[in-house]
Structure 1
Amino acid sequence: MTDVTERRILHAFFHLPQGTRPDLYEQLLALTENLTPRVQAIPPDTAHLDITGSLRYWNRDPEGIAALLRMRTMALYGVQTTCTIAPTRMLATMAAAVTPPGATTVLEAHAVQAWLRPRPVAALHGVGPATATKRRSYGLHTIGDLADAPLPALTRIFGAATGRSLHAHAHGHDLRTVQPQPIAKSAGAERSYDQDVLDPVEHRRSLLELAEELGARLRDEHQAAGNLALSVRYADRSTSSRSRTLPEPTAHTRPLAATAYELYDSLGLQRARVRSISLRAQDLRPATEATEQLTLDPTDDRARAIETVTDRARARYGHGTIRPAALAATGGRRPGTPPTRGPRS
């Protein structure tokens, strides 16, 4: 088994022009697979390549492999590519954030700590700006500060799981490997009514039900959505649609439902005769690719703790064992009109 310090992970960011044809990204992925079979797509414009075994095959150093990739994407498709190479996926992604467009950065294992320590904690994988106030109050300004903090102190401040994760990342550790398997690009669910429904309260109840179902499916399949789309079909068979990119990729019901409500409100419906409502989670990616911002909001913590309990109960006893109060109060869906799973694509 290859030691993590000997791994070479290439983060490739393709500068796709606006209005590019839909299949261009897939063609670029196919091109990367000519360099190494271990390629993980990170839609819509990025890929991770494990080039550890390719160095000897191509008789090139990491920078030479990156140069070959950049030359091919430009010559064949006119696409500029920014490349960063590091021992782990996390480090390669972080290096990409400070690499000029079209350039290549190589971060060797012996230089990781010197490169990491002076950087702000917000640059670390899994940390967002929402934690800035609390971090500053504990004097954790740089990744070096975080690395020097005792693990028990970090778990006390941020919680057990997050504290351990931050401690590992601050030392440059990331056990994620490049996973070449394809993932679905979208998943949907639909709520159809037996008769036209004019009540906005019923519409919002359906949105919560659909968000709960989509979130559960995404968590079961270890995926996260980057975009949410809403479609409302009326009695005259016309349809209104809205979509929105989520602040961060997620599989949690609460942010999915909040975005669904915002999309619904943007339609400005007034006693519309609604026949069906559907939600579609789009821009899916592996859950490990979703950077979860630390909000330090106890309400979010409680909601996610309840979600974990609900997922366990559903896995053991089936869907609907534990439901949000807003759905349980009316039995959720009407008899004979279960939500219909949309096709995956």
Structure 2
Amino acid sequence: MAAAATPPGATTMLEARNVQAWLRPRPAAALHQVGPATANKLRTYGLHTIGDIADAPVPTLVCLFGASTGRSLHAHAHAHGQDLRTVQTQPAPKSMSAERTFDHDVLDPAEHRRTLLDLTDELGARLRDEQQATGNLTISVRYTDRTGSTRSRTLPEPTAHTRPLTTTAYELYDLLGLQRARVRAISLRAQDLRPATEATQPSKPSATATAPATAPAPSGPPPSPQPATGPLAENPTIKRCWQPAVSRSRPTDPMHLMAYWIRSVCV
């Protein structure tokens, strides 16, 4: 980033104590993974500089840009110019695919879905072995007459786990609407690969799942999130993402009270 801001023939020297002061006024588009579309959306909400993004609460960024992009923006804005990603000594693959070819026409949708389950299981295992996660999944189906259909979808969160991959593959298959089509081959391609550290974690059983339903409710009023300041306070959309739903009546039932506390963070 410093090199990009340095004119030809000049040298920029940054001491550690001056890095934060130098980064904060830099434009938001200078951040890693901030393209033109994201930069325009940031400007729409009054987030023009790296300092504006650093001052924005994480729940606000998640509300505006989604979980993955929101957390990524917050992490990059607080990195102080340091790239914490692991150095890859070998070039990482850009995509990964698995395919099944049938020796006869397959019309049964149940057989198609069993094949998709095998493919997602294979892709998930390979991704985990390579310590990669995929952010996009594409299904391709080839028919007897050598024509084909393709559908693609960006995943809500990068993952290397079989269950979310299978769910997405089934949804893409349903979008094809094959209806007894004569299928000769099915393939899945995982794209937008990234380090496994950005993958979703598998859900674990809750340790309190067997707790009595009559557990005591938390005492006191629900916590009030800290109000946004600076350019955030001037944007009504950001206010809606950050301010609690004070107009709703507070329930007294323990289970509904906990849900009320969660909803009060971002509505």
Q: CA deviation at 1:270?
A: 1.2
Paired residues in the alignment total 173
Question: Which structure's relative contact order is higher, taking Cα pairs within 8 Å and 6+ residues apart?
Answer: 2
Which secondary structure does the structure 1 equivalent of 2:98 belong to? Answer: strand
Q: Is the 8 A contact 1:226 1:248 kept in 2?
A: yes
Equivalent residue runs for 1:294-305 within 5 Å: none
Distance 1:214 1:293, change over 3 A: closer
1:62 corresponds to which residue? Answer: 19
Listed as ranges, the matches of 1:191-230 within 5 Å are 191-230=100-139
1:49-84 CA distance string (max 9 Å, x none): xxxxxxxx73133257648975xxxxxxxxx71549
In the alignment, the residues of structure 2 paired with residue 199 and residue 250 of structure 1 have an alpha-carbon distance, to the nearest angstrom, of: 29
Larger radius of gyration: 2
Alignment of 1:261-300 (within 5 A): 261-290=170-199, 292=200
Supply the distance in 1 between the matched residues of 2:60 and 2:49 (Cα, whole angstroms): 24
The aligned amino acid for 1:194 is: D
Alpha-carbon offset, residue 178 of structure 1: 2.7
Q: Please, what TM-score do these two structures have when normalized by structure 2? A: 0.52
Helix, strand or coil for the counterpart of 1:284? strand
In structure 1, how many angstroms separate the alpha carbons of the residues matched to 2:163 and 2:203?
13
> How many angstroms does 1:231 deviate by?
0.2
Task: Measure how far apart 1:295 and its partner are.
Answer: 5.3
Instruction: Extract unaligned runs of 5+ from structure 2.
Output: 5-10, 33-41, 68-77, 207-267
Structure 1 stretches lacking a partner, 5+ long = 1-31, 36-56, 71-79, 85-96, 129-171, 299-345
Deviations along 1:187-233, whole A, 9 cap, x unmatched? 11110011111111111111000000100010011111101000000
Residue 103 (structure 1) aligned with residue 44 (structure 2): no
Question: Residue 51 of structure 2: SS of its match in structure 1?
Answer: strand
**Aligned partners of 1:180, 1:100: CA distance in 2, in Å?**
34
Task: Return the alpha-carbon distance in structure 1 between the equivalents of residues 175 and 60 of structure 2.
Answer: 36
Distance 1:119 1:274 in 2: 46
- Look up the match of 1:179: 86
Equivalence for 1:81 = 29
Assess, with a 3 A threshold, how the Cα gap between structure 1 residues 209 and 285 changes in structure 2: closer, same or farther: same
SS at 1:270's partner residue? coil
Tell me how far apart the structure 1 counterparts of residues 2 and 148 of structure 2 sit (CA, whole Å): 41
Counterpart CA distance in 1 for 2:21 and 2:92 is 30
Structure 1 pair 297–280 and aligned structure 2 pair: CA distance change class (3 A): farther
Alpha-carbon distance in 1 for matches of 2:61, 2:163: 24
Map residues 228-243 of structure 1 onto 2, 5 A cutoff: 228-243=137-152
Give the Cα separation in 2 of the matches to 1:213 and 1:284: 16
Structure 1 ranges of 4+ moved more than 3 A = 32-35, 63-70, 97-102, 118-123, 293-298
Q: For the aligned residues, what is the CA RMSD?
A: 4.3
Rounded to whole Å, the distance in 2 between the matches of 1:231 and 1:102 is 41
| C-alpha separation in 2, matches of 1:122 and 1:289 | 17
With the length of structure 1 as denominator, give the TM-score of the two structures. 0.41
